[in-house]
Amino acid sequence: MPSTPTNVLDPSASLAKADELLAEGRPREAIDLLSAANRRARDTTVEQRLVQVRHTGFASIDRSPGREDWPPDTADLFPVGGHPPEVAGFDLTAEALGSGILRHGCLLVRGLVPRTKVAPLVEAIDKAMESYDAHCEGVPISETAPWFVPFEPDAGYSVRYGRQWVRDAGGAWMVDSPRALFELTETFQDVGVDRALTGYLGERPALSVKKCTLRRVSPDTSADWHQDGAFLGAGIRTVNVWLSLSHCGDDAPGLDVVPRRLDHIVETGTHGAQFDWSVGPELVEDVAADARVVRPIFEPGDALLFDDFFLHQTGVSPGMTHERYAIESWFFAPSTYPDDQIPILF
């Protein structure tokens, strides 16, 4: 008698094999296996396991520096200053990324994510936030998954009050939405973000639970100038992929930026600053000098890539009437991963 064919949509075998690979110290193979299974058929259990494998697996990867010297020596591919250098999405390379960040402070990538892939990410933001809020009202996790499943880190890490603080500010942690995290990682790999970041950093990066955020920003939000390096610590190697999912910068909050390279953390808490970690607007003008402050207009799928020294703030003005959808994703070289962040393999 012929054997009964196995149901290829049943993820149990993939889940079991992924556990074996993780136990053997092969987390990236486990991630690849589960990702392939989830591409065949979206599965809540697989997506939740992927989150945990991406986190737990960080402990077993090789964290040897990909580059002995940092920052890398880069040619200036964008000799005209005064505004963020731009490339099209298909021209994003490690060389363009390094030149943009290390010579001009940032790189603006037009059309990094195709419009066809923007809509699912916008939906993910709405559903993740709606599900988070529903859970706060008493809806069980069994009904909010896969859009909201509160992440529980391994021993030695703590999320403390960060989750609610981010939600109160109009955001939500990506890691709390297994479906959203899957959609983002798939999208970034499809458009080559992984290749550009790995080439620039010299090693495949890891995300941070605390610094990978879904954002839906209202026009009445507040703004403070800052460099993320002021609270990320020294000696790190990092890139933020700030992805706009809606038109913004004129009728919706965008980003105000200083389009020049800074190689240090400027003074905080002075010159009219609102907080001890923010940079006063009077000092921003001095730091910007001839570069001047600019507010780019972003279209859905455009992205701004920058590091921990980049001086920026949310760009808001009276008269704005629309919300801004965006995803902020900070990637770190594992060899210099910050002690107070919570790792997620990419």
Q: How far apart are CA 87 and CA 181, in angstroms?
A: 26
Kindly report, residue by residue over 134-167, the tens digit of the pLDDT. 999 999 999 999 999 999 999 999 988 889 999 9
Give helix 12-23 / helix 27-40 axis angle, nearest 10°. 170
- 1 pLDDT band (50/70/90 cuts)? very low
Compute the 3-state secondary structure of the chain and give helix, strand, coil in percent, each to the nearest 5: 40, 15, 45
| Rounded-to-integer distance, Cα 64 and Cα 333, Å | 10
Half-sphere exposure of 144 (CA within 13 A, CB side): 21
Contacts of 20 (CB under 8 A, 6+ apart): none
pTM (whole model) above 0.85: yes
219-262 residue pLDDT tens:
999 889 999 999 999 999 999 999 999 999 999 999 999 999 99
CB neighbours of residue 226 within 10 Å: 21
Tell me which residue of 51, 345, 25 sits closest to 198, measured CA to CA.
Answer: 345
